[in-house]
Amino acid sequence: MATGVFRRYKPRTVSASTATSPTSTALPVPSPAQPTPEAGPHRGMLILCLLTLYLIWGSTYLAGRWMLQSGLPPFLSAGFRFCVAGALLFTVLRMRGAPLPTARQWRSSAVVGLLLLTIGSGGVVFAQQWVPSGMAALVVGSLPIWSALFGGLFGQWPGTLERWGLALGFGGIVLLNLGGSLGAELGPTLVLMAAPMSWAFGSILSRRMELPRGMMASAAQMLCGGALMLAFGLLRGEHIAEVPSTRGILSLLYLITFGSLIGYSAYGYLLRHASPSLATSYAYVNPVVAVGLGSLLAGETMSPQAWGAMAAILGAVVLLTRKRR
């Protein structure tokens, strides 16, 4: 009898909308279409994909902060990033014969892209102008809390174990605010708090909308969400006042290539070949990676209240994911 977390997992229809995602690297939700049959999972590939998600998605918070520090505006840069990644993925899929989305599928992709990318990812990037990258990742790590609550709106109310997780997670969020770890600016703090809420609601809603099949859903949502972010940035009067630094440009390229394209490919492989609990385990690893990199490379520090909040929020995510196994 096979043992261990890397036992062969029987593929089934899985929607990425049920998973949590770091939103400065937040990626669009694929449709719940039946995945294309592939060869059985390879242990080495599973480990490689897990490390990719843990390290890359955890590091994108610091990359986003460096991008902003170079003078790149939040919504224009994030919109450009998702438009480029979406266009590349869309082109590759079309060359491989994937069908074009219908008008209804484009509308659904625009709604999901608005909730997940424009409000979710865009909100995190905007807040990172004031909030340290580690704190931003920690707040986004609370996304399973909101997913459990919004799931109740559609008849999936939390059980006993999940309720304990919700209470623990909300306690951690309150502790973050009381300790002043989210900064003194009320506006960015509220935007950051709303970002994972929007992502969670969009994830739940996407399961009930007609989206393109497979990876084409991701491309369509990135194109729509990125275009909306570009439009919002222009309405806000965002512009590039000076030539960005080399570090800022490299950070943007890193987010496009590794955060979106490579990271999403690794996540898609896990969804097809690993259990959902293993595939979504990055939800409580990314904040730890982000805090460590922020402390090591950007001189970010955490107060005792912030460390307590991290323990509470990560503990809540563990309880919620254990219940869903």
DSSP sequence for 169-195: HHHHHHHHHHTTTT-S-HHHHHHHHHH
What pTM was computed for the model?
A: 0.74
**What pLDDT was estimated at residue 22?**
44
In a domain, 9, yes or no: no
Distance, CA of 46 to chain centre: 20
Domain count, the chain: 1
pLDDT confidence tier of residue 270, bands split at 50, 70 and 90: confident
Residue 92 included in any domain: yes
Taken in order 214, 215, 221, 227, the sign of the CA dihedral is negative
pLDDT score, position 2: 40
**What pLDDT, on the 0 to 100 scale, is given for residue 140?**
79
Residue 239 in any domain: the answer is yes
Angle of the 186-206 helix axis to the 133-140 helix axis, nearest 10: 40
Tell me whether residue 122 is in a domain.
yes
Residue 96 pLDDT greater than 50, yes or no: yes
- Please indicate, yes or no, if residue 282 is contained in any of the structural domains: yes
Cα–Cα distance, 212 to 89 (Å, whole number): 13
Q: Examine residue 39 and state whether it is found in any structural domain, yes or no.
A: no
DSSP category for residue 116: I
User: Is 49 a member of any domain?
Assistant: no
Which range is least confidently modeled, 63-72, 143-152, 178-187, 207-216? 178-187
156 contact partners, CB below 8 Å, separation of at least 6: none
CA dihedral 237, 242, 243, 246 (to 10 degrees): -90
What is the rounded average pLDDT for all residues in the chain?
Answer: 77
What is the structure's pLDDT at 184?
56
Domain range holding 90? 56-324
188 vs 105, residue with greater confidence: 105
DSSP per position, 94-113:
HHTTPPPPPHHHHHHHHHHH
Q: Is the pLDDT of residue 183 over 70?
A: no
Q: Is residue 265 part of a domain?
A: yes
